[in-house]
Amino acid sequence: MNSVAMTDETVTSPDGTLVGFHSFGAGSGVIVVGGSLCAARDYLPFAEVLARSFRVHVMDRRGRGESGPQGADYGIEKECEDLLAIQSKTGARAVFGHSYGGLICLETARRSTAFDQLAVYEPGVSVDGCISGVWLPRFRDLLRTGDTRSAFAWMVKGAGFAPAAIAKLPLWCVRILLRLAIPKRRWREMEPLLPAQALEHEQVVRLNGDADRARPVDARDP
């Protein structure tokens, strides 16, 4: 981020939670909302490219960076409120969401007309039960014992996005493969976000529906 001056900003969500975001660039505003197991830092290279044409605001969602915790009454409604708080402060009329962040953008657009333009990439949307939460109980059990490596491996095996050949391997084997594949620095960034991942995936499962659920979204594709 050496070529673009960046400022760190915060806004207070309706429930009092502080939400941090990074702003840089010039032009019309766009907010970037990241996925699970990611923080704002993971989207800065992408956002720097956007900043050549836009004023970009990269959100650190609850439980990340300078933002407050998810909270005892966490739900995607809180994430929508956080996003709208940033929109209100920045005036941005466009939003981009990745993975779980894409679901947040879609749910916000269902509730509000604050955004004129909306783009999502691989949004965490479950249609007709295509995303399962059957892996969550053991995932949480492993987290409670402090075995974060096994918890992550169990999630990879059970969440449905791993190749079938990997998903069928025993847990100990997947754990070893992932330990070899993921750089130590990246693991140090991801590990603290595993409990948040469970809460966020619960919301994906809770909001399962049919394809018509997004019909009220009125924003256009940028």
Average pLDDT over residues 124-130: 90
Could you tell me the pLDDT band of residue 1, with boundaries at 50, 70 and 90? very low
Tens of pLDDT, residue by residue over 178-213, are 999 999 999 999 999 999 999 999 999 999 987 777
CATH topology (fold) of 6-125+210-214: Rossmann fold (3.40.50)
Average pLDDT over residues 107-124: 94
Q: Which two tokens stand for residue 221?
A: 């594709």
pLDDT of residue 3: 57
pLDDT of residue 5: 82
d(C-alpha 30, C-alpha 28), whole Å:
7
pTM for the whole structure: 0.92
**Residue written as tokens 């059990």?**
141
pLDDT of residue 210: 75
- pLDDT averaged over the chain? 93
Q: What residue ranges of the chain are covered by domains with CATH 3.40.50.1820?
A: 6-125+210-214
Average pLDDT over residues 144-163: 94
Residue 137 has pLDDT above 70, yes or no: yes
What secondary structure does DSSP assign to 131-180, as a single string? S--TTHHHHHHHHHTT-HHHHHHHHHHHSS-S-HHHHTS-HHHHHHHHHH
Residue 170 has pLDDT above 80, yes or no: yes
